[in-house]
Chains A and B, each alone.
Chain A
Amino acid sequence: MAGGGAGLTVGTGPAPSLKRGAVGEAGEGAPELAGGGDSSGEAVVLQLLLYGLLLSSMGEEEGLRQTQLLDTMFVRGLKRKCFDGEEDIEGTLAGIKAIPSYNLQRQSLLDMSLVKLQLCHMLVEPNLCRSVLIANTVRQIQEEMTQDGTWQMIHTQSTGQASLDRLVSTDILCRSSREQAEGKHVSGYSAFNKDFEGDQAQDSSETMSTASSVQAPRNLQSNVWEMENPQENKGNFQKSLDQIFETLENKSPNSVEDLFSEVDNSYYDLDTMLTGMMSNTKMGHCDGLETFSSPTATASNSNFKSDLNELDHIVEILVES
């Protein structure tokens, strides 16, 4: 494994969740992954994809336990490892530990928040405080992503397939911003910034508009969120979520304020907009969460786009197989 690609440690922790959509994820996640930009980074990505496929046979129980381990893993010692571009990839596939990039995790948090807001699987009026707090979190992420310029990039690439696939463990987001600042590299995206500067404002909230999509997937959710047999529902789950995000993306892009937009002045509208819940009770039962490792070393932008296309191609092949 060529060195200098990225500080990567793939552990048994996050790996099992790679099974779901790990491959599809690579398409969207690729820009962040290949932040390294050079061939070694790309190779690492491929390696991880294969690793993910290998581990796809791991059971749900294992995934559950691993997610719980994740928290501890990320608290300890991740600070130094995660964004360290210098470390070599150690040993065999089994020996490396996955660290999702900050951006990927942020995206995952965003997706999770949107799902929380949309699910209206209730007879009782939803908790307004909770909805407002989630919506504020979504806004924060959106603002930060707009500043980063990552917002455009994500949304030109996604084809509606991605959202669940991109859900990753977001524990890294619990770390203080000071710790993150030490390792965070956003330079990889500067190339994209230039391309998409013009469209930023309009596109910023494609996935944010929930105006009428809440009603549509309502019936889907009742099936989707029966978490009894997550393995079996996995396929349905992905499809349903895809549908939500497709309908979202088809809406005329406004801003996150669409979440609160009113048809008339009654409370009922906010009610519709902000209904949402997630009925997971067990901690660590992060079905939707996945982790993805990525090299996040300083970008060398020159090869970036070509790498991206190649990766897409490779990913497609892997998906077919």
Chain B
Amino acid sequence: MSHKQAGGPPGESAVDWCLYQLNGAAEFEVSEADIISTVEFNHTGELLATGDKGGRVVIFQREPESKNEPYNQGEYNVYSTFQSHEPEFDYLKSLEIEEKINKIKWLPQQNAAHSLLSTNDKTIKLWKITERDKRPEGYNLKDEEGKLKDLSTVTSLQVPVLKPMDLMVEVTPRRIFANGHTYHVNSISVNSDCETYMSADDLRINLWHLAITDRSFNIVDIKPANMEDLTEVITASEFHPHHCNLFVYSSSKGSLRLCDMRASALCDKHSKLYEEPEDPSNRSFFSEIISSVSDVKFSHSGRYMLTRDYLTVKVWDLNMETKPVETYQVHDYLRSKLCSLYENDCIFDKFECAWNGSDSVIMTGAYNNFFRMFDRNTKRDVTLEASRESSKPRAILKPRRVCVGGKRRKDDISVDSLDFTKKILHTAWHPTENIIAIAATNNLYIFQDKVNSEMH
């Protein structure tokens, strides 16, 4: 493989990724609450939101370009931090409800304010983020500190004037969508109509209106009448990017169901079922577990879907239900280790996947702080590492390799040396540019295309 890595737009030279910035404490200072649990760019890429296990949301804003400081171009600085969810206790079941943020989804911006939805296992909240950079001065009845003036000192009336002040970012919870889910919410997705969104838990999917919190419509319910018969759960779901009536949900058995809300109120019957028949020669007791889809994402074009299961990422054409059009091996060397991975529960890790802006490259995380990119056009793939040691700022990331016995090159890592506690579950790709955000435990890595960053 050439040293040029996958990731460029078709026809142009491949992308060299380099570390742009790294946020987060060093490893020995990590507390459980700091572990990042979700990462999401907004629709323009100007804002990047992260949620963590402690229920906090941190929003980064990209610095606008300026000719004065060329090297600070496009840096993502902390814009706002707020506590989205608090731990709760379910008294009925005597169980805690974790405050961990499972998903964040941005709403398309419709005015000066930004809005996002954040969810933990049970409750979804709509947050409005506004800026305040001016404040009124010159009140008649109050003085500068807000104390009431002595009326005898007021001799004339003045109109308060807006004066500039230091930028203040205010975040307010505008809606709280509670009590909609019995099971754990795993996905939320905003509809292209910008009015509704859906939330999916293990067995049900609800449709909400963004303005109405006391009511939601159940659109999918796979709970069996007899819980003894439960064999399949919902693992992820998403609305189609353009067709407001279509959505897809994935299951623990590796199938995808495309549903059309025009067909009926309850979309238990799918319109299309995407399922690849099992390869009988590869069958083992772990076949089902590794086929469970952990993430599904529509392409920006809306023509394809990307799914991630334990060992592969697959691209599906919406028009073909029988099998994916492309399958990429993420870490096939783990296939012989499934027993150990089952025993230590790693086999249940849920990795996410992402498209780049032009749908030509797909990305997903792996173990040992590795993440993988696959170029759909050139069919080249690359393994990169998100770690402090191997990422000097502005230095180009070196591709990594995992060797599986046989010839071993220098700098290769053997399968047995992989650190399975360092998993990259959450990754995000800027909607238009070659900028990626990688969450490694409590650290947020932002990598940029070297060419991209040098051009400014």
Contact = CB atoms under 8 A, between A and B. Distances in A.
Interface of A: 67-68, 71-72, 74-76, 106, 109, 112, 123-125, 127-130, 132-133, 135-137, 140-141, 169-171, 173-178, 257-262, 267-271, 277-278, 280-286, 288-289
A125 B344 CA distance: 19
B411 interface: no
B289 A137 contact: yes
A260 B227 contact: yes
16 contacts: A68-B416, A71-B416, A109-B339, A109-B342, A123-B96, A132-B233, A132-B252, A135-B231, A173-B284, A173-B339, A174-B286, A257-B229, A259-B228, A262-B227, A283-B337, A283-B344
Nearest to B234: A129
Interface stretch (B19-27, B73-81, B132-140, B275-283): B275-283
B345 A174 contact: no
Interface string B282-324: 1111101100100000000000000000000000000000000
Contact of B288 (A68, A76, A136, A282): A136
A278 B96 CA distance: 19
The 4 closest A-B pairs by CB, nearest first: A260-B228, A257-B228, A75-B336, A170-B339
Given A109-B339, A137-B286, A278-B344, 7 more contacts: A72-B405, A125-B184, A133-B252, A136-B231, A260-B226, A278-B345, A283-B340
Interface string B340-376: 1111111010000000000000000000000000000
Contact of A176 (B182, B283, B339, B416): B283
Contacts of B342: 109, 112, 170
B344 A271 contact: no
A258 B95 CA distance: 23
Interface in B47-96: 90, 92-93, 95-96
Given A262-B228, A280-B345, A271 B93 contact: yes
B237 to A, nearest CB: 13
Contact of B348 (A133, A177, A261, A267): A133
A177 B283 contact: yes
B235 interface: yes
B96 A141 contact: no
B227 A128 contact: no
B93 A280 contact: no
Given A283-B341, A283-B346, A174 B284 contact: yes
Given A129-B202, A260-B228, A285-B344, A171 B95 contact: no
Contact of A74 (B121, B235, B336): B336
A171 B340 contact: yes
B339 A76 contact: no
Interface of B: 90, 92-93, 95-98, 121, 182-184, 202-203, 226-233, 235, 252, 280-286, 288-289, 292, 335-346, 348, 405, 415-416, 420-421
A92 to B, nearest CB: 27
Contacts of A262: 226-228
Nearest to B121: A125
B281 A127 contact: no
A4 B285 CA distance: 30
B339 A129 contact: no
A123 B281 contact: no
Contacts of B336: 71-72, 74-75, 171, 174-175
Contact of B95 (A123, A133, A286): A123
B18 to A, nearest CB: 31
Contacts, number: 147
A280 B292 CA distance: 22
A125 B95 CA distance: 6
Contacts of B345: 130, 277-278, 280
A267 B182 CA distance: 8
A71 B404 CA distance: 12
Contacts of A109: 285, 339, 342
Contact of A141 (B182, B285, B415): B285
Centre residue among B202, B229, B232, B342 by max chain A CB count within 10 A: B342
Contacts of A169: 339
Contacts of A74: 336
A174 B288 contact: no
Contacts of A268: 92-93
Contacts of A127: 184, 348
A270 B182 CA distance: 12
A280 B343 contact: yes
A132 B344 contact: no
Contacts of B203: 128
Given A71-B340, A72-B405, A169-B339, A281 B421 contact: yes
A174 B337 contact: yes
A270 B95 contact: no
Contacts of B421: 281-282
A261 B229 CA distance: 9
A74 B415 CA distance: 14
Given A72-B405, A132-B233, A137-B286, A176 B281 contact: yes
A189 B337 CA distance: 29
A113 to B, nearest CB: 8
Nearest to B281: A178
Contacts of B348: 127, 129-130, 133
Contact of B202 (A128, A178, A277): A128
Nearest to B253: A136
Contacts of A133: 252, 288-289, 292, 348
B26 to A, nearest CB: 20
A276 to B, nearest CB: 10
B344 A174 contact: no
A174 B230 contact: no
Contact of B338 (A67, A174, A257): A174
A169 B339 CA distance: 8
A199 to B, nearest CB: 22
Contacts of A128: 183-184, 202-203, 233
Contacts of A280: 343-345
A298 to B, nearest CB: 24
Contacts of A68: 340, 416
Given A137-B288, A174-B284, A174-B335, A260 B229 contact: yes
B278 to A, nearest CB: 11
Nearest to A67: B340
B420 A132 contact: no
Contacts of B184: 125, 127-128
